[in-house]
Amino acid sequence: MTATGATRPFATRLTLADALLGGAARSMLLSAVLVVAGAVLTALAAQVSFTAPWTTVPYTLQTGSVLLVGTALGSRRGALSMALYVAAGAIGLPVYAAGDHGLARLLGATGGYLVGFVIAAAIVGWLAERGWDRSSLSTLGLMAVGTLVIYAIGVPVLAVVVRLPLTSAVESGALVFAPWDALKALAAAGLLPLAWRLTRQR
């Protein structure tokens, strides 16, 4: 899958942050600011939560923020931003979902998802650097890849820590979130290509 209009599908290209901020986005200082801002945005998104009648597991905007930050900042800055977010929660800042925090969370049932955030941000950032966030269809693919990476790491850890059968872990740790994650992917598929079109009008 390649972005619309890409003549070299595997060539590194500018990220959305680079396009919006120009060459300044590549400076070390501004890159550091973007990394911190991405972690803060994810921390805030993690506090937006609600429950649905069919499950007691809360739904949040956390994973959507992880993937958007990775996409907008690129592989290196996106991964650093999520690593900072995970580290902040591990040392005691209430930045995880619903204000949760602590090293126990990183080493516990949700630890796989937290590690998955870092890896997923790196992967979607790499794809974005190759133009996958320029069209709605490729953005959907990018978001799907990122979401599956988080599930692929989070669900097995959940199964091991909580001692669930893998099928039960898949149901409680992935399937209940799939419709919500699909809605976030659709929103990103509309917003990210629009943001790129706006950069070309500047």
CATH, residue 106 = 1.10.1760.20
Which residues, other chains included, contact 147 with Cβ-Cβ below 8 Å and sequence gap of 6+? 63, 67, 120, 181, 185
Residue 11 has pLDDT above 60, yes or no: no
Residue 10 lies in a domain: no
Tell me what the pLDDT averaged over the chain comes to: 89
What tokens were used for 157? 């850890």
How many whole angstroms separate alpha carbon 201 and alpha carbon 143?
A: 25
Residue 62 lies in a domain: yes
Higher pLDDT, 202 or 13: 13
Residue 52 lies in a domain: yes
Higher pLDDT, 28 or 58: 28
Residue type for 59, please?
Y
Residue owning tokens 């803060």? 40
Residue 9 lies in a domain: no
Residue 194 lies in a domain: yes
Query: Which pLDDT belongs to residue 3?
Result: 45
Residue 41 lies in a domain: yes
Q: How confident is the model at residue 21 (pLDDT cuts 50, 70, 90)?
A: confident
Are 4 and 138 in contact by the 8 Å Cβ rule? The answer is yes
Are 59 and 177 in contact by the 8 Å Cβ rule? The answer is yes
Query: Which pLDDT belongs to residue 13?
Result: 77
Query: Which pLDDT belongs to residue 28?
Result: 86
Average pLDDT rounded to a whole number, residues 9-22: 76
Its sign, for the CA torsion 48, 43, 115, 97, is negative
Q: Give percent of the chain with pLDDT exceeding 70.
A: 89
State how far the alpha carbon of 83 is from the alpha carbons of 7, 90, 115, 168, in Å: 33, 10, 8, 29
Least confident interval from 1-15, 27-41, 48-62: 1-15
Residue 80 has pLDDT above 90, yes or no: yes
Residue 5 has pLDDT above 60, yes or no: no
Residue 6 lies in a domain: no
Count of domains observed in the chain: 1
Q: Give percent of the chain with pLDDT exceeding 90.
A: 75
What tokens were used for 32? 């550091």
User: Residues 61, 76, 85, 34: what is their CA dihedral angle, to the nearest 10 degrees?
Assistant: -80
Residue 176 lies in a domain: yes
Q: Which structural domain, as residue segments, surrounds residue 103?
A: 16-200
How many whole angstroms separate alpha carbon 72 and alpha carbon 86?
A: 19
